[in-house]
Structure 1
Amino acid sequence: MWAKNNPAKFWTPGSTLRIAFLNGTQAFKDATITAASNWLPHINLKFDFVEGEVGDIRILSEEGTFSSLIGTDALLHPDEPTMKLWPHPGQARYFAANAMHEFGHMLGAEHEQTNPTADIPWDKPAIYAQFGITENPEDDDSQARVTRERLHQWYLDRADPSESIYSEYDRKSIMHYVIYQSWTKGDFQNFLNLSLSDKDKAFMAKAYPYPAETSQ
């Protein structure tokens, strides 16, 4: 797991984060709370889930979207949703995995496939071809430029270790995207991870530590 080397992105350990639901069914809210609570045994934070528009985090139930601002960036947008979750009735494990992923972003984590220590054998020409762009950026129109930038941001460009806080690359991380075999050289693919990995838990435990116990 990794995060940008900016302590201000992390919430203050010991804090209670007020998490507001802007909309959604009760089933959606219950599923979100259950998924998010998987992080709580490993971090020195509390979540206070509330109704309405006032919260450090504001969740919008929206079809077709899973997204979240990173860490305390949520405080920079007080009048907007800071997290969007796509309800999936009947697909509890899929929804839970994606909700945990977005709460990982909310806690400050970035995408694991761009971890500074990731060494994924990308087949860039194959990826470009699948997304309808060429290997030459000079061929790009405005839409192709956006596509290329997103592919590099989300998949192809590893983070600079000097600008990152990170643990060893973890293919089991909840923050890892699916990687298709056709996108890589050799024998490499990654399926959807459905639960927090041991390294996820350890990373966040260090990011949000409990006070050291003092001897009497």
Structure 2
Amino acid sequence: MRPIFTLLFLALAQWAFAQVQSCQDIVFPTLNSSLYQGVYYNDLRWDDDHKIITVSFINGSAFLQNKVKQYAVEWGTYANLRFEFVNRAGADIRISFYPGKGSWSLIGKQSNQFSVDVNTGRSVSGLNGPSMNYGWFNEKTTDQEFRRTILHEFGHALGLLHEHLSPLSGIKWNIPKVYAHYMQTQNWSKEDVDKNVLNKYSVTQTNGEYDPKSIMHYPVSKEFTLDGYEVGWNYLLSAGDKKTIATIYPKSNPTTTNKETPKQLYRISGLTYGDSIWSLTMSKNKVTNAQIWRTRPNFPNAEIQEFWGKGYQISNLSYGGGLWALVMSQGTGLSDQLWRTRPNFPEAEINTLWDSGYYINSISYGNGLWALVMSKGTGYTGQIWRTRSYFPKDEIKEFWDQGYHITSLTYGNGLWALVMSKNAGYQLQLWRTRNYYPKDEIQELWDKGYHITNLTYGNGLWALVMSKGTSYQSQSWRTRRNFPAAEIDELWKK
């Protein structure tokens, strides 16, 4: 068997097996294909002292480059390494956007030893060419497709291989149909089909588990299996992906005898302005992710774009005291995010983005503008909104009874804006309105196992929403006349 390097991936965003494009293998001089270790190639994992992997771009627009930056960093949430994007030659990973040349990546640390000749598909020594390519990205590519492809290729760059080739999958291929399909649509030989679709790793070379939800799994159409088995498109990191990458690059030394629990730190979970004070809520989660905040007199569109490019997503946006307050966080699990500002309530924008698969994260009002944030990957399975000149207690009760929970509540321009969602993750929910800051109510409900999930001020009322079933481990709140910068910094360290 000739030594090869597997770089296959699927090109089209719509689930139709017959439409799939796949990249051919790259001939690689040092990689023995019999040594694959199931879902990853152990010998090509990045070394323990290589905790920062540098990444540069050979070409591509700023838009495309920012999409790569936005989604690639998700791997670092679960692995003891991070990607640093640099503007220089000789980076560990070098990315190109050559159209028509497929999407592929060298596996693991071979990226900082070899490049790929995009014309021949063969590897060459040195760091003068790309080690990763995205051949079908353009300005019209969907964010779902960006995330799927980028996560897949960076999985290869960390040493992961294709999950559908696991011998534990038990896939019963209709081999004549598979040969015919790939020969007709990809112009592959029988050997190409064997190598890229049908061959399996050795059972002893797997991690002992098969994960059909893995980002590294091809879609499988029931048309090409004997028993009707199928696997759809996978767009997110699966629980198995997260476990595998954490095993390959553990965040703590597994041989150490001092197995301390990682420290949980407070992060901003609520920030609002009302009655001439800033109200800050900070919470501890099981996992502590990076977070930033910025205050600006003008709407912070440049800051949002900057931190989107670094893998952050908007987690809180509010206005008060002449300032827009922006909070952005990593590890939100969201796959895409958009914002809109309008002088009138953005009803048309909500309906349009709902039709595109987005759900409302938050709605806020300030300085004559409604600010709408909508995202994909929220996990919601349904959503409604209502605006009322009075507090919408009847609407809350109506939609609670239908299985919805409050996920956003704000006041602006004479209107209460209520958003309720299905599958928000809450078990029970309560609300209270008071003409004073509801500190006693917060303490009372904390003692009963509730956590603050929304706190806002409008029309002379503080509106408090507290829920059971959150991921929060503990909470703290502060009120200050000035923006609570010192309090945020203090609690971030606790």
1:202 paired residue number: 243
**2:217 pairs with 1:182:** no
1:136 paired residue number: none
Aligned partners of 2:110 and 2:182: how far apart in 1? 30
1:76 paired residue number: 113
Match of 2:61 among 5, 19, 25: 25
Structure with a larger share of its residues in strand: 2
Aligned partners of 2:153 and 2:243: how far apart in 1? 18
1:122 paired residue number: 173
Alignment map for 1:1-216 (pairs within 5 Å): 2-4=39-41, 7-13=42-48, 15-64=51-100, 65-77=102-114, 78-86=127-135, 87-90=137-140, 91-132=142-183, 147-162=189-204, 164-212=205-253, 214=258
- 1:113 to partner: Cα distance: 0.3
2:396 paired residue number: none
- 1:8 to partner: Cα distance: 2.9
Structure 2 runs not aligned, ≥5 long: 1-37, 115-126, 261-494
Contact 1:71 1:108 in 2 (8 A): yes
Higher-Rg structure is: 2
Note the alpha carbon deviations across 1:158-183, whole angstroms, 9 max, x for none. 10133x24241111000001212211
Greater mean deviation of Cα atoms: 81-90 or 21-30: 81-90
SS state of the match for residue 12, structure 1?
coil
- 1:186 to partner: Cα distance: 1.8
Structure number with the bigger relative contact order (C-alpha 8 A, sep ≥ 6) is 1
Contact 1:116 1:166 in 2 (8 A): no
2:69 partner amino acid:
I
The aligned length equals 203
Aligned partners of 1:116 and 1:131: how far apart in 2? 21
Aligned partners of 1:39 and 1:167: how far apart in 2? 22
Note the alpha carbon deviations across 1:63-92, whole angstroms, 9 max, x for none. 232100010111221222100013143311
- 1:120 to partner: Cα distance: 0.4
Contact 1:112 1:173 in 2 (8 A): yes
The structure 1 segments of at least 4 consecutive aligned residues displaced by more than 4 Å after TM superposition are none
- 1:12 to partner: Cα distance: 1.9
Note the alpha carbon deviations across 1:24-76, whole angstroms, 9 max, x for none. 11111111011111111100001111224320000001223210001011122
Contact 2:55 2:85 in 1 (8 A): yes
1:9 to 1:165, Cα distance in 2 relative to 1, 3 A:
farther
Aligned partners of 2:176 and 2:206: how far apart in 1? 30
2:201 partner amino acid:
A
Identity of aligned residues (%): 29
1:138 paired residue number: none
1:137 paired residue number: none
2:182 partner amino acid:
F
Contact 1:13 1:209 in 2 (8 A): no
Using the size of structure 1 for normalisation, the TM-score is: 0.86
1:204 to 1:22, Cα distance in 2 relative to 1, 3 A:
same
Aligned partners of 2:46 and 2:208: how far apart in 1? 19
Structure 1 runs not aligned, ≥5 long: 134-142
Structure with a larger share of its residues in helix: 1
What's the RMSD between the two structures over aligned residues? 2.1
Contact 2:90 2:128 in 1 (8 A): no
Aligned partners of 1:116 and 1:53: how far apart in 2? 40
Contact 2:40 2:161 in 1 (8 A): yes
Aligned partners of 2:167 and 2:110: how far apart in 1? 22
SS state of the match for residue 131, structure 1?
helix
Aligned partners of 1:205 and 1:185: how far apart in 2? 35
1:176 partner amino acid:
H
Aligned partners of 2:171 and 2:259: how far apart in 1? 46
Aligned partners of 1:8 and 1:215: how far apart in 2? 27
Contact 2:73 2:82 in 1 (8 A): no
Contact 2:91 2:112 in 1 (8 A): no
Greater mean deviation of Cα atoms: 105-114 or 67-76: 67-76
Using the size of structure 2 for normalisation, the TM-score is: 0.39
